[in-house]
Structure 1
């Protein structure tokens, strides 16, 4: 249970990948706390359904924008439109992402590009487009949803891990650059979460079955994410035990790879 935050009242927060999973729950938590989630995703039908649900449950009018974030040219047009229509945006949560859990030799170039374009390029592009807006207004918060995979790469997730490693590195550099401008930057590094992400990542369901008891609840994750909005927070790592493992891996990579060989190969 999360306490309502007055600091979110009437704040407009962009949420990418808002039509389901973590993004949908983040949007609901923003509205629960009096904020105005700006909903971005590919599925207009799902966005409209969420918009109506938020209006019914929280009496918040949440703007909807249909977009394929892989199309960078369309992203530029959409950012200009959002700023024109919304006048001031206060936060950007880069949540949209996808993965394919396959060996490198079995991963098509199209799948590789999809992960790179959505997980990395769209995050950087949206940030570049909205950062001047935040600096101009002297406030803003950029939250990037990364992954523990960005700290520990495992078999069948080399490209996905590379994209999330890039997001973590980008987020860290961005945070240092924006500190003087009163723009907060936070990385959310997650283990596996119970969402439809795995429909593409793990269509046979083998990995999900092996880690089911460790999977995070998307509502809990969303509460943690929204809880740090407009606070100076470097990163959130969930679950905590997985973050401890990543720290040990940085110190003793060879040993950890030997000890955790079975766990690393669960995909």
Structure 2
């Protein structure tokens, strides 16, 4: 009975902390996607290349690789910026909440900031392959949407494998770290870097079942630090990846001013991220 009261008190505390941080918005929760990702219809309707684009919901990684291999240089540049073909290292930004087609600029900017800091032979991909939670509410506190993202993220890494590219370093922000934690056993990542993480749905690094080097950063100025790292009745996401017992390699983050600033130019975290992306920090 005492244990039950403790768990119930912790669950209520987690609810109050999250709700007090930005407002409890359960009414704004979104449905976990069962079909194509957002933007699929527009992608399939795009005829600027004069040929059908591969369906992101059904095409295999090998089919996507074959499609891009058959494009001219000019056609490739219409679809993607950067040079994956000659990349020695690959980094992938996995975003957290409030990211969709209309609000993707933050993730794109983080990718641009990491690209500017990393070496010329490192390609940075801004990924938008899952429906993220909107606002702060039940979707933030559960793994429902992360489960869908965790099914899709391995498709990206499989696609990189199919084109002969190196295993990527995953940079997982906030709720994106829940996605990366669930996807970890099925991805061929060289590194998994989490920042501002509410938890990875794992008790420790061993439970992630990955050979990737796991890194974690959390600023004392990040509001996520006030959210209890527990998992009760399906709410919250478990252990703090920056805690000593978790087993991740801690990264400096004292100069990060806020939850959304881990990629800010001049921060120690961005410097460390670039070194990891370039394969210089192990």
TM-score (norm 1): 0.41
Q: Which of structures 1 and 2 has the bigger CA Rg?
A: 2
**Normalised TM-score (structure 2):** 0.39
